[in-house]
Amino acid sequence: MPLDFYLNIVASGLLTGLVYGLAALGLSVIFGVVRVVNFAHGEMMVAGMYGAVLLFGFLGLDPVLSAPLVAAVLFAFGWVLQRGLVNRFVERPEHMQFILLLGIATIVLNLLLMIFGPDSRGVQVDYVFDTMEIGPLLLDAVRVRAGVGAVAVAAALFAFFRFSRTGKAIRACADNPLGARVVGLNLDGLYAFTFGIGAAVVGIAGALMVLVVETRPQLAPEYTLLSFIIVIVGGLGSLPGALLGGVLIGVSEALAGFLLMPSLKALFSYLVLIVVLLLRPQGLLGRRS
């Protein structure tokens, strides 16, 4: 049944795409609030992947369970990075912020390369070959876990920004930094917290990603670019847009990888980006500024 076949490809692309979307969500949160583009995003994600691989290797911890630990470490990293370095660049010209984070990305990437080497490492969970049958769909259990995990974390993030006091304060900073300062919010502290949240989110995305792909340092720049593409396709500053963009890119990658050539699937994402920049530069769910 060819239709079932395509449905299966779309479904598996969709599940992977949800994890992409979660990673992009982290980028979107940082950019939306701190107004700094985290060019080290993919590097943080791959660091999260290695965290999950190590925790699995030494403690036999399932990546889904190691995700909170990875998130805690990356939160600390993001917080310190914002406090120590990025914060003094918030008012500086855009290209200087970009170059700072490019430098940090290069450092993290090559540290990972020096520590772990260029070879791929994965986790062998015991349900790696399990499948789930839903109607005509036959889904990999690992992919379902990764996708469901991504949705759960994204939902928690939405709830945090909508209902919690800190979340509301952060949204106030994003809308009007000066006004937020006037009413007595601690901008520097909230920026550091936000950068930490963004790093934690992409770290979790990395831990979940380990279920689906093997990790190697060279993935980092690819994931950075992928997150950018997703955020732009979905619409800058739109959190649902990031998830939608992730799903779109995940599905198009899966289809391109199957219909054309696996090595051409990344090309497809760039073409989607160029088309979106041409036809709808504000992104699918973005507002025109």
Partner 1 sequence: MTPRALVLGGLLLAVLLVVPLFADGYVLSVLTTVLWFAYVGQAWNVMMGFSGLLSLGHALYVGLGAYASAALFVHFGIGPLVGLFAGIALAVAAGAFIGFLGFRFGVRGVHFALLTIAFAEVARIGFDHIGWVGGSGGLFLPVGGSNPLNLRGSPTLFYYVILALVLLALVLAKRLLHSRLGYQWLAIREDAEAAEAVGIDLFRARIKAVVVSAALTALGGVFQAFYFNNLFPEQVFSMGRSIEIILPAIVGGVGTLFGPILGAFILTPLGEALTSAVGALGVDMPGMKQLFYGAALVLIIVFRPDGVWPWLARRLRLVRAPGEGGR
Residue 95: CB minimum distance to partner 1, A: 5
Residue 100: CB minimum distance to partner 1, A: 5
Piece of the chain touching partner 1 by CB under 8 A; list 4-12, 95-103, 176-184, 188-196: 95-103
Residue 155: CB minimum distance to partner 1, A: 28
Query: β-pairing, 137-140 with 131-134?
Result: antiparallel
- Mark 203-222 with x for binding to partner 1 (rule: CB under 8 A) and - for no binding: --------------x---x-
Question: Two tokens at 199?
Answer: 């790093």
Looking at 7, 90, 225, 255, which residue binds partner 1 (CB under 8 A)?
225
- Taking alpha carbons only, the member of 76, 70, 100 closest to residue 88 is 100
Give the C-alpha separation, 104 to 261, whole Å: 33
- Taking alpha carbons only, the member of 48, 44, 16 closest to residue 29 is 44
Give the C-alpha separation, 4 to 1, whole Å: 6
| Total Cβ atoms within 10 A of residue 220 | 27
Q: Which amino acid is at 47?
A: A
232 contributes a contact to partner 1 by CB under 8 A: yes
23 contributes a contact to partner 1 by CB under 8 A: no
**Which residues are near partner 1 by CB under 8 A?**
37, 85, 88, 92, 94-96, 98-100, 102-107, 109-111, 113-114, 118, 217, 221, 225, 228-229, 232, 261, 263-264, 266-267, 270-271, 273-274, 277-278, 281
